[in-house]
Amino acid sequence: MKNKVFEHGNRLNFTAAADVASGEVVAFSGVAGVAISDVASGAEGVLDVEGVFDLPKASATTFAVGSKVYLSSAGLCVSTASGNNYIGVAWLDAVAAELVVQVKLN
């Protein structure tokens, strides 16, 4: 098969629009990923685009397993679609008091 481009397809190169810290979630053009290392603004980095990650969530936001998760402009996981980027689904329930939600990307 000569048309296979990537072995697993779980990594994606990107150019950072701003400084990105290792472990930070990045969403653009319908794709979400977690930076595998620090990336300076304007530099090329690599995102892990598959898997389940602990990601910071907005306070008072709750998630049920399987509910859609969106990324706000502040970089926090929220349950509101309007004005936010879809990044995946909640892998576990997350109550309001928790600081993170487990998200299965894309």
Predicted confidence (pLDDT) at residue 5 exceeds the cutoff of 70: no
- Does the residue 4 lie in any domain? no
Residue 8's pLDDT is 73
Closest C-alpha among 60, 39, 41, 49 to residue 10:
49
Q: pLDDT digits over 30-50, tens only?
A: 899 999 999 999 999 999 999
Predicted TM-score of the model (pTM): 0.89
Mean pLDDT calculated for residue range 1-29: 85
Alpha helices in the chain (DSSP H): none
For 89: left if phi > 0, alpha if psi spans -120 to 50, otherwise beta; the answer is beta
**Domain co-membership, 40 together with 58:** no
**Domain co-membership, 70 together with 34:** no
Q: Domain total for the chain?
A: 2
Tell me the HSE value of 27 on the side-chain side, using a 13 A CA sphere. 19
**Domain co-membership, 59 together with 101:** yes
